[in-house]
C-alpha cells in the first residue's frame, strides 16, 4: 500500500494537492480498483525521463498515477507551483504525451468513466465500448459526489469533448513548450 510520505515525493518541491491526499485516503479504504487501470503510484519520473533528462523539463511534471494496465501515466504539467489548477497530461506507454484534462478535479471526473485510455504517439482516446465495471466504481462515484459535489461523466463522448476543450486551451502552448526540449 502506497504511503502518504512516499506519494508526497512525486510533488517535490511543492506540497501535494489536498485533493490527492483525499484520493489516496479513499484508495486506501478500497479493496479493489475504483477506476479501470488507475492506481496512485510513487514515481521517480521514469515515464518523463524517457522523453528528456533536462532538469527544467523533469521539474515541470508531477506523476499522479498509472492510467492503464500497460503503464501509461497521468501527470500534472506545472511550471508555476499551482499544481491543483494545472493541466493534466498522459505519458503513453506506447509513446505520446497528450493533454487530457484542465486540472485535477477534471481528471477525477474523467476517472468516473471507468475505462482505460488508449494512448499512442499520435493519439489518445477513451474507447466507447463498455468494459466490465471496476469493483469499487460505484463507491468512487458516491465519494466524488459527496466530497466534491462532482457528477460522473455521461460517457466516453463527454470525456473526449472535455479532453478536446483542454487540448484547445493548452495544446498549442504545450507543443511549443515541448519543442524547446526537442520533444515532438
pLDDT reading at 7 higher than 90: yes
Radius of gyration of the chain (CA): 15
pLDDT tens per residue across span 152-173 = 999 999 999 999 999 999 999 9
| Sheet with 73-77, side-by-side order of all strands | 39-40, 61-66, 73-77, 88-91, 97-101
pLDDT digits 0-9 by tens, 12-25: 999 999 999 999 99
Mean pLDDT, to the nearest integer, of 40-56?
Answer: 92
**Cα-to-chain-centroid distance, residue 11:** 14
Domain segments of the chain as ranges: 4-179
Mean pLDDT calculated for residue range 81-108: 95
pLDDT in tens, 65-86: 999 989 999 999 998 889 999 9
Give the residue from 48, 52, 55 showing the smallest Cα distance to 179: 52
Give me the DSSP letters along 124-164.
EE---SPPPPPTTHHHHHHHHHHHH-PPPP--HHHHHHHHH
CB atoms within 10 A of CB 116: 19
Q: Can you give the pLDDT at residue 130?
A: 66
* Mean pLDDT taken over the chain: 94
Amino acid at each position: 500500500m502506497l504511503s502518504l510520505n512516499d506519494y508526497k515525493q512525486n510533488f517535490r518541491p511543492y506540497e501535494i494537492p489536498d485533493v490527492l491526499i483525499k484520493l489516496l485516503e479513499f484508495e486506501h479504504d478500497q479493496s479493489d480498483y475504483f477506476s479501470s487501470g488507475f492506481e496512485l503510484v510513487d514515481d521517480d519520473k521514469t515515464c518523463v525521463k524517457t522523453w528528456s533528462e533536462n532538469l527544467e523539463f523533469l521539474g515541470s511534471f508531477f506523476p499522479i498515477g498509472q492510467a492503464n494496465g500497460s503503464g501509461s501515466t497521468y501527470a500534472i504539467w506545472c511550471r508555476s507551483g499551482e499544481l491543483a489548477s494545472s493541466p493534466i497530461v498522459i505519458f503513453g506507454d506506447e509513446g505520446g504525451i497528450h493533454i487530457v484534462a484542465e486540472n485535477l478535479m477534471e481528471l477525477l471526473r474523467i476517472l468516473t468513466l471507468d475505462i482505460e485510455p488508449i494512448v499512442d504517439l499520435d493519439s489518445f482516446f477513451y474507447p466507447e465500448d463498455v468494459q466490465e465495471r471496476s469493483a469499487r466504481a460505484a463507491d468512487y462515484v458516491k465519494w466524488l459526489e459527496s466530497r466534491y459535489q462532482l457528477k460522473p461523466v455521461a460517457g466516453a463522448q463527454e470525456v473526449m469533448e472535455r479532453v478536446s476543450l483542454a487540448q484547445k486551451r493548452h495544446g498549442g502552448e504545450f507543443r511549443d513548450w515541448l519543442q524547446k526540449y526537442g520533444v515532438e
